[in-house]
A and B are shown apart, each in its own frame.
Chain A
Amino acid sequence: MARGWYGTAAVLALLLLLHFILRPFLGDSRVAPDLLLLALLIYAIGARPGRAAVAGFVVGLLADSLTPVAFGANAFAHVAVGYLAAWVKAVFFAENLLVNAGFLFAGTWVRDMLVLVAGRHVEGTAFFWQLGVWSMLKSLTTAAVGVAVLVVFRRWLAIRVAE
């Protein structure tokens, strides 16, 4: 149990650092994977919904401080996604790789949608363009990186990932 906790903490810390170190090398920020959100979703896989919501609030405040366009919108979105992610994993607890990929994809897309809705900075065609294209691509890259992290660090995270 302790080993699993330390392993998870190490992976989350690694994702946090890589989020900032790799950012300049990942190209267009609209489609680059969001490693900060990925860390939250991986934490939510093994956490209680309440703790995942608190973690979401912290991650959301960090995101709000990094792009202070609509302060609070990211916090709101990350709280909802963290809580729902932990709840969904508790209900379905599937360890299938494809299910995990879908889980990470949906988490990223829903987060973007909630940020845009709560922020109200993008409307009309641009809103659907952002959600239909850019958020989809970002969700794909985030899910791909997330699956790689789950496979590579499955022992550290103390999870079973079946194909």
Chain B
Amino acid sequence: MNSAPHRFTSRADTIAFVACLLLSVGARAAPPQVQDSLASAIRATVLAPLLGLQQQAALVKGARARYGAVTAQRDSAVLVAQEVPALQEENQRLREVLSLAARLPRGHVSAEVLHQAAATDGFTLILGAGSEDGVRAMAPVVAAGGLVGVVRSVEPRTSVVMVWAHRDFRVSAMTLDGGVFGIVAPSGAAGPNTMLLELQGVPYRQDVAPGTVIYTSGLGGASGLYPRGIPIGRVLSVSEERAGWSRTFLVRPAVHPASVSHVIVLTARVADLGRAFGEAP
């Protein structure tokens, strides 16, 4: 470690540095298809065993949490079992907290989110489920609260989700009564509204009250990308008005990507998911 005097930059070092920089710039400037296939190839080969390790670690973490919950439930059951009415009430309560997965129709895959250390982690997420589990590209991804994003690319055992915060994300949206339609997109990469969404293209004559829940509209029917009825977020306020033409509303997302540890990938084409999320439009 103290051999500094003969470790200053040589010509070979400079050549290696410049070559690596040029390769990096080339990778950055490459077409998106080339970038995606290169990233996919690396994930499916070099990173596959490491992501497998991370998935196992996530499962262990989940199992520990579930063990604690089961132990608590068992202890609670011992107490409430002394009285049948109390037991019935407990059963009813447990039924009410059944997971979203139980309410969804057939054709979905549960997956752990494998968060990464990069500063850009909130724009894409890696899931511990891939094509071997039935995940396909362009499949919608939801959490208990609502829409998370859409599957961008798939490897055998992992997949990448484009989260709603990604600048390329768009989804057709509507209000609960179906009276207002628009396009939901990220609110932008700059300013205080970075982690918010926008409901764009709403006709000027239509107003949406703050607090109104925005759902996926399901336009396109069974062949569309997103089923109808998935919560996207709640309207906060008017963001922009083009006099006489249209309004844009600021929307607080239903799901925050940094706080999601498990998601559900919808693998089957479903037209309406309103019932699964409790408020059927």
A residues sitting closer than 8 Å to B (CB atoms) are 16-17, 19-25, 28-30, 32-37, 45-46, 48-51, 53-54, 56-57, 60-76, 79-80, 83, 86-87, 89-93, 95, 112, 115-116, 118-119, 121-127, 130, 134-135, 138, 157-160
Contact = CB atoms under 8 A, between A and B. Distances in A.
Q: Sorted from nearest, which 4 A-B pairs have the closest CB atoms?
A: A124-B190, A72-B28, A50-B13, A50-B16
B1 to A, nearest CB: 4
B102 interface: no
A65 B42 contact: yes
B119 A53 contact: no
A122 B121 CA distance: 12
Contacts, number: 211
Given A74-B118, A83-B17, 15 more contacts: A20-B51, A23-B116, A34-B118, A35-B117, A48-B10, A50-B15, A53-B16, A61-B42, A68-B153, A69-B123, A115-B120, A123-B189, A123-B190, A125-B194, A135-B119
A69 B153 CA distance: 12
Contacts of B98: none
A16 B50 contact: yes
Interface string B4-25: 1001111011111100110111
Given A28-B258, A69-B166, A72-B29, A53 B7 contact: no
B113 to A, nearest CB: 9
Nearest to A31: B117
A3 B153 CA distance: 43
Q: Is the interface of A mostly helix, strand, loop or mixed?
A: helix
B20 A72 contact: no
Given A23-B116, A67-B116, A134-B119, A29 B258 contact: yes
Interface residues of B, number: 64
Most central of A61, A95, A118, A127 by chain B CB within 10 Å: A61
B2 A93 contact: yes
B50 A87 contact: no
A67 B123 contact: yes
Contacts of A46: 1
B61 interface: yes
Given A32-B117, A69-B166, A70-B28, A24 B54 contact: yes
Contact of B1 (A23, A51, A95, A118): A95
